[in-house]
Amino acid sequence: MRIESLQRSLADFPDLDGCWQPDNLAWTEENIRSLLSAQPESGSSRSIELLSQLARVLGLRGDLTGARVQLGRARELMLSTKVDSATELRYLLEYGRILSLDMSPKKAAPVFLQAWDLATQSGQDFFAIDASVMLSTILPPKLQGLWVQRAIQLVHRSERPETKLWLGQLNLRIGWQAYDLRRYEEALQSFDAALIATEGDSPPAKTLPILWSKARTLRALGRVSESLALQTSILERMQALGMVNGHVYLELAECAQLKKDHEQARTFFELAHTALSSDLWYKDNRSDELDRMKYIFKKRH
């Protein structure tokens, strides 16, 4: 998966706890901290789960140091608290994800494999799928398809209804793997399948990353007008939900540039730069792209 897709994919997952807003990580962090403060000081499995989730949101916000601190707190509680397999799995998965965001896939892979083994042995299908999705993200391309297929097989085999929540994400993942191989038509089909899987059962904000992926693929296919129309529709939906997403602004800018609407392109490049420069992860990993945006929107005729 393209590195610029990694952070976004880690933020897109079935929310069993109902405490996440992937497009409002500041609110999510505040919400998790509030839930955590209501837990007993002595610690509990719930405290460990919330600390693990707090580490996840901090990692997504680019604060890997803070994420490690919270995982350390969770680990200390695990040593003094009897925990079930689900709690241990939540810790392992978030530990692996922080290693992934720290660009240490060789260290993350054994952690996710440990999570996979524990989840399959304890019948925790939802977390087994989570582990296989992560392995399909960080392992070499020749192994990624194997782990996606294992996840899909488990979704269809499992009797636990929450596993079906993964279908949209899995099709999204398959689509991006096809995209990375420049099989754009195949990617488009997978993104459409992801939309069908989430239709009716997901909040509007949940479908926006899938629509964005479809629009990005349309641009890659040279269908710029269709891509621009879809990104414009996404922007309107975002605004109605009070959301801001720099990646949408960036795609609108790229489409406008290709349509030779340079004034509109500069406007969207500036909006994209403003939004994405406040994203610590993007700032650390895509500084060259931020410089390009700034150069374009400051350039005059």
How many Å apart are CA 50 and CA 16, to the nearest integer? 12
Give the pair of three-digit tokens for residue 179.
């995209």
Instruction: Say what the alpha-carbon torsion angle 237, 238, 239, 245 is, to the nearest 10 degrees.
Output: -150
pLDDT at res. 25:
83
- Return the half-sphere exposure (C-beta side, CA atoms, 13 A cut-off) of residue 163: 22
pLDDT tens string, the chain, 301 residues long: the values are 444 444 555 555 666 667 777 767 888 899 999 999 888 766 688 899 999 999 999 998 889 999 999 999 999 999 988 889 999 999 999 999 999 988 888 999 999 999 999 999 999 999 999 999 999 889 988 888 899 999 999 999 998 888 988 988 899 989 988 998 899 999 999 999 999 988 866 667 778 889 999 999 999 999 999 999 999 999 999 999 888 889 999 999 999 999 999 999 999 999 999 999 988 778 888 899 999 999 999 886 5
Correct CATH for 1-158 of 1.25.40.10, 1.10.10.1150, 2.40.37.10, 3.30.1050.10: 1.25.40.10
Q: For residue 177, what pLDDT is reported?
A: 84
* pLDDT of the residue at 299: 81
In the 8-state DSSP scheme, what is residue 164?
A: G
Neighbouring CB atoms inside 10 A of 277's CB total 16
The C-alpha atoms of residue 289 and residue 274 are separated, in whole angstroms, by 12
pLDDT (0 to 100) of residue 11: 54
H helix intervals, the chain = 3-10, 25-37, 45-60, 64-80, 85-101, 105-122, 125-138, 141-157, 167-180, 184-198, 204-220, 224-240, 246-258, 262-276, 280-285, 287-298
Cβ neighbours of residue 8 under 8 Å, at least 6 residues apart?
209, 247
Note the pLDDT of residue 33: 94
Task: Report whether 250 contacts 276 (CB < 8 A).
Answer: yes
HSE, side-chain direction, 13 A CA sphere, residue 218:
21
Cβ atoms of 249 and 268 closer than 8 Å: yes
As given in the structure block, the two tokens for residue 229 are: 């129309």
Structure tokens at 275: 């939004």
Which helix (H) or strand (E) is 277 found in, with range? none
59: its two tokens: 């990692």
192: left (phi over 0), alpha (psi -120 to 50) or beta: alpha
Q: Distance (Å, rounded) from C-alpha 70 to C-alpha 73? A: 5
Looking at residue 112, its pLDDT comes to: 98
Residue 201, pLDDT score: 61
